[in-house]
Each structure stands twice: as C-alpha cells, then as structure tokens.
Amino acid sequence: MSDSLHSTFCCCPPGRCGAAPPPVDVASASNFESFSLRHLDLRLQLSFPEREVRGRLSLRLCPLSCGVATLVLDTHPSLLIHSIDCRLPEGSLCSGLPYRIEPFTEYGAALSIALPAAAQEPHRGFEVIVLYTAKDAPAIWWLDAELTCGNLKPFVFTQGHSVCNRSFFPCFDTPAVKSTYSATVTVPEGVQVLMSATCSAYSEQDKAFQFHMEHPVPAYLVALVAGELIPADIGPRSRIWAEPCILNMAVSKLNGQVESWLCAAERLFGPYVWGRYDIVFLPPSFPIVAMENPCLTFIISSILDSSDFLVVDLIHEIAHSWFGNAVTNATWEEMWLSEGLATYAQRRITTEAFGAAFTCLETAFRLDALHRQMRLLGENNPVSKLQVKFESGVNPSSLMNLFTYEKGFCFISYLAELCGDPQRFDDFLRAYIERFCFCSVVAQDLLDYYLCFFPELQDNSVADREGLEFERWLSACGPPPSEPDLSQGNSLTEPVETLCQLWTAGTLDLPTITLHNLAQWQTFQMVLFLDKLLDRCPLSHEVMSRLARCYSPLLDSNAEVRIRWLQLVVRSGYFPELHKVRRFLEDHTSRMYTVPLYEDLCSSSLKSIAVDVFCQSQSRMHANLRKTLQQILSQCVGPLGSTPVGDERATDTTGTVALRDVNVSA
C-alpha cells in the first residue's frame, strides 16, 4: 500500500489541528497522540473447532514528533502475542522487537513496544507487524450450530463497540483515531465471510476473502461475521445477508424500502459516502439490537417479529452513516454526539418516510421511557449528563443509556428550534458533515460551528439563555431542560393516555373502553399503552382478566408487545397467563427479551419459575447471557452452581446491555 492512502488524525476544526493537543481518552492505554496511523491490515485465519483467530496485524505509522521511543497499543489478556517486527522507513526488516504487556483495566491491557532508532524519526513512515492469536476474546462471539437460527452450522461475529476490538487485534482503540483498513480472511469451505468494508472479493487462488475499507474509520467499526449466510438484493445498493431459514422473511419486510430511506437521508444530509448499504441479520445471541458498522449494518434477527421496531432501528443505523461513522465522537465521554445526532437524523428521515404523527408517537414512547429511567435513577445521577466524565477503569459501554440518545436528541432538537426552520437546520447539518467528514470531534466543535453558521444566534447570546445554557445541557444532571413539541402526534398519543386512565380508574367503564379499537393501533401505541400500565403495577386480578379477554390476540401480535404483557402478568401475579411467560422464555434466547422477564420474576414471588425455566433452557443460551442470568438468579435465590464445563468465556465482558427502550447501536 502506498502512502497516498487516505487517512486522518483530524479531530479538530481549523486552528485546533496541531495547535491544541488531541482529546484525552481515559479508556485507551495507547499513546495514539504520538503517531499518525496511515493504514491497518489484517490477515486472519478463523478456526471454529478451536474457537480462535490466528492473526497478522500490520500498522503503518508515522511519529508526529522526535524521541518517541515506545509505541503503546491497546490489547487484551485474551490476545497471545507471538512476535513483533518492524519494517523501517528504508524498507529493511527489524525482527523481534522487545515488548511488554501491562495491566490497564478489566477490559484491556497496554502493549508497549520498544521502537528501533530508525523508526523514531518524525513524519517518516514505518510498519509494525504483530503475529498473535485471539482466543476467548470479548469482541469475538463464537456460536455453536444450536445457537443459530437454522441450527445447522457454527457462526462467529465480532462486536467492537465501544472498547472491545482491542481483544480482536492490538490497536489504538479510541474513536479519536481513524484509518483505512484491509483484511484477508481464511475460513473452512462453505463459510461466508463479510466485513464492514467498501470493497470485497473472494480469491479462488488463495481460497480467502479479501476486504478493503477505502475511507478512514475508528477501530471499533472494524467488524466481521462468518457463517451460513446467503444474500438477496433489496435495492440498487443494498443487500440482505441472512441464514437461509430467515432470508425470505427479512426480504419481505424490507424489499424496496431501504433505498427510499437512503434517498431521504441524502436529500436531508448530503451524499451517502460508503457505497453499499448492506444488512446482515445475526442470531439471537447478538448482544445488542443493531450496530452501525459502515457498509454492513448488523441487526438481531429477533427484531423481525416487530416490524415497526425493525424499521426505526434500521433507519437509526442508516443515520449513523452520517452521524457516528462519517463524523465521530472523539472520546466516549462525547458518545451523545453520535447517538443524539443520529436519533435526530433518524426522526427527520421517518418524518419524510412516514409522516410527523408517526415520528412524534415513536418519540413520545422513547421520552416516556427516559422519564421512567429518570425516576429510577434520581435526578442527580451523573449518568444523566450528556458529557459523562469517566473515571479511569470504567467501561464506557456500561454507561450507555437512554440519556445518550434521548437527552442528546432533545439538545439537537433545541438547536434546531433556535434557528427557527427545520430546513435551515438540515442545511447546517449538511455543512457540518461536509466540514468534518472522516474526522472525530468534540461537543465544542459542533457548537462553535453551529454559532458560526448562524451568526445571528451568536449575536443574541443563545448559548447563555438562562435555564437553557449550552453548558447546562452538556454538564448538568437531570432530565432535558426542554423537549420538542410533539403535538403533531396527539391523534395517536392521546387515545393511549385516555385508555390507560380508563383501565386504572378504579371502576372499569367497559362501554367506553370498548370504543377504543386497538386492532387499528400502531405497534408504538400498543407498547406505550402497556408501558404506562406497567408504571401502575400491580394491577388487580379483575383488570388483568378483563385486559386478557379484551385484547388477547393483540397481546400476542409481536415480541415487543408480548414481553410487555408478560411483564404485566408477572408484576401483577396473574397466574392464568404464567404458562405464557414460561413458553416465551423457552422460545427466546436474546438478551433483550430474556433479561427483563428474569429480573421481574426474581423481584416477585415467582422466583421458582425463573430457576426452573433457566435450568431447562440454559443449554440453548450463549455463555454470556447464561452468566448474566446466573447473576440475576443468584442474587435472589443463591448460587446456582458453577458455570457448565467448556464455557470458560462465560463472563459477560462486553459491558453492553440491550435495553429494549434504547436504539442500542452502540
């Protein structure tokens, strides 16, 4: 590869690059600020029987100043380093560089490499080559055939967000650093490999899959999936990949729609720069709902059961193509920049595609969940800040919550409201993307550019309006200082409020209740209605009985509705429907549908049901989920015994929780 490959270490607007130090990332052990990363190359051999990846990593680097004698990369104890070599600027190879691995946090370690003197000259490129094996790595999820949708062949995928890819390959595991990458992957015959890359091919001669990402991306967006996957085109630049048993269902849900969403996004925010937008449906063990890997969105197959949630979550991932992937938060303390902007962009797209009423309904549902979380945490909880200051050693993924998305969305909506015209704000966002494309930014970059774009707002000192100061938005605990006007969704949200009040009024007014035809409701109306009933639990036996009789078929319409009804069943101790709780937990092995029900069962007098179902179904769970549920159960009923033999990697080391009320895209 030549030095002309596009790369970036730009995380500042003009005047900051080189004039101010790069942002401090307490989640990275690396000395990324001392180097420019030009390109990253991986050569990987996947072994399903051994559940290991044998890798060769090549990093093409340039020192940014004199006297940098050590290269420090993020790594993980699960990576076994075999050797480290260095190709010097003049082309000669220096073999066997000294290195040491030092503890950093529970989610990583520091790999310190002593550089030869010839690799310490500033602005002269050199290459570091690391041979390693990744086994039991938190970023790499190996699935036996029994844990896939088809139950026929094993499967593997990676999940790098936010700090897991240091266990996939040694790297600058910080969103402040971006580079192009390439990869060559060897797998057993009959296994399809996909990666988050702009170019892909299969070499018959080498019997290997080859990938290249032509645009700079941070390490966490390097993603791989391999298994029994077959494709189906659903648009001129989009394809679905899925296991054969679910492909037709996925195509029927999305055929022709994705292109219209991409076109709407381009009209709003400018060109889609990534070439293809493909989607791969992963087995239920995928730990989050969806992940915005460039060119290739990962999404959990369980969501196919809930069409409205599928649509909204995919549009959220499309929005990340601009906000998160093209322009990225420079540190995980600024995660709201990607998620808040992507949520705002998602809702601009859904307004174009489905109308303002639908968007306001979905927003009302999410903000209702935000208020619920606020009540649980308390208004002074620091995780409710947009700019969360991480203590050293805290896993950034563990602090991902609704505030990242919804409080961030409210702030962006407030900025749009200040300029007085959504179209003018769209123009600003297009200019913002063009200005910072392929860079990493902090909040001050966004706000400075905003005030430059709207000088009349700067003249009016909008950043310092009492009670709505920009600094308060960023640094204060508590709910959003303001929320957007959702009145265009009143025709959909007011019936939900009315019906909820009727069901919880004390005396049931059945004639009035029956005037509400829930068969005509949208999914987000149903889940908002059930969430509001959950807030009023426990409900009486009479109310639960009447609800079951009135709405029985509708309460079984999709998984998002069904789990909320079953939570009502558990929290209200409604025994006639408990068999459905058992069946649901036996049928579902995804985190987002199991953890909430197990938590409710263990908080009630029904702990024995949780233990019984777990003992019968644990063999069909991924080790990470099994460990999480063991922890939940042990807190209420005591230890359940040791982890089953062969599950040495049973600890849930990802730090990610698939909250059902969050567009977890990490």
Q: Left (φ > 0), alpha (ψ -120 to 50) or beta: where does 309 sit?
A: alpha
Which position has the token pair 């390109």? 39
Residue 449 neighbours by CB distance under 10 Å: 17
Give percent helix, percent strand, percent coil of the chain, each to the nearest 5.
45, 20, 35
Report the distance separating Cα 539 and Cα 545, nearest Å.
10
Half-sphere exposure of 293 (CA within 13 A, CB side): 31
- Rounded CA separation 219/181 (Å): 9
Rounded distance between C-alpha atoms, residue 73 and residue 172, angstroms: 6
How does DSSP assign 92-121, residue by residue? -EE----EEEEEEETTEEEEEEEPPGGG-S
Closest CA to 622 of 119, 285, 189: 285
300/620 Cα distance (integer angstroms)? 17
* Helix (H) or strand (E) run with residue 224 in it: strand 224-227
What is the rounded distance in angstroms from the CA atom of residue 192 to the CA atom of residue 202? 10
Active-site pick, 317, 333, 362, 560: 317
Give the alpha-carbon dihedral of 279, 285, 289, 290, to 10 degrees.
-30
CA distance 349 to 366: 17
599 phi, psi to nearest 5 deg: -65, -40
Task: For the chain, state the CA radius of gyration.
Answer: 25
Indicate if 146 belongs to the active site.
Answer: no
Query: CA-based diameter of the chain, in Å?
Result: 86
Mind giving me the DSSP string for 532-585?
HHHTTPSPPHHHHHHHHHHHTTGGGSSHHHHHHHHHHHHHHT-GGGHHHHHHHH
Distance of CA 508 to the CA centre of its chain: 42
Beta bridge pairs of residue 296: 278
CA distances from 483 to 17, 56, 315, 420 (A): 35, 49, 22, 15
Within 13 A of 206's CA, how many CA atoms are on the CB side? 12
Is residue 78 a contact partner of residue 150, using CB atoms and an 8 Å limit? no
Q: List beta partners, residue 192.
A: 227
The torsion defined by the Cα of 305, 307, 308 and 313, in degrees rounded to 10, comes to 80
Which active-site residues does the annotation give?
317
